[in-house]
Amino acid sequence: MPAQTQFPERAKQHRGSRWLVGRIEKKGLKPRYAAYIVIAFWSVAIVVFGVVERLIDPDTFGSIWLGIWWATQTVTTVGYGDVVPQQTAGKVIAVFLMLGGLSFLAVLTGAITSMFVTRAQEESQEESADQMMERLDELSSQLKAIRADLDGRQGSGQP
């Protein structure tokens, strides 16, 4: 059973939040859904940081699209270096994007690894269950043979 997670009362007030919080409290948060949440969060963050970077440093970032391009390559840790913030505030934003990119990759990698491990465990358990059932069937057949032999001996008067 998943560990109980405590959520602030304010988060439970919105209808969508109540549904999400209830689902997480009952079933836990699967790695796949954690990855979806992180991807959605950073997709929005890329757009927001791209727009903010354009507003802070319009000389370097001639358009919002250039700011989004820079934020995307920063979050994904590619960092071509074709566009670099010149203002201090832009560099601070870059730090947050870089750290976020690292966390994004870590969560995504963990989610993928978790799915592989879960699948392998399920297959292993199925194989163990199949082997156990085969062994139980074998033992059951042997037990029936022993009972039949005992019944045959008792009926014929043999010890």
So where are the chain's domains? 9-156
pLDDT of residue 48: 92
pLDDT of residue 44: 92
Which fold, 9-156? Helix Hairpins (1.10.287)
Round to whole Å and give the CA distance between 49 and 42. 10
- Asked if residue 109 lies in contact with residue 35, where contact means CB atoms within 8 angstroms, the answer is no
In tens digits, the chain (159 residues) has pLDDT values of 444 555 555 555 667 677 777 776 776 667 777 778 778 888 898 899 889 989 988 988 899 999 888 888 888 777 777 788 888 888 888 888 888 878 877 877 887 788 788 878 887 887 777 788 888 888 888 888 888 888 877 776 666
Q: Map tokens 């757009």 to a residue.
A: 47
CA–CA separation, 81 vs 98, rounded Å?
13
Angle formed at CA 48 by CA 43 and CA 51, multiple of 5 degrees: 130
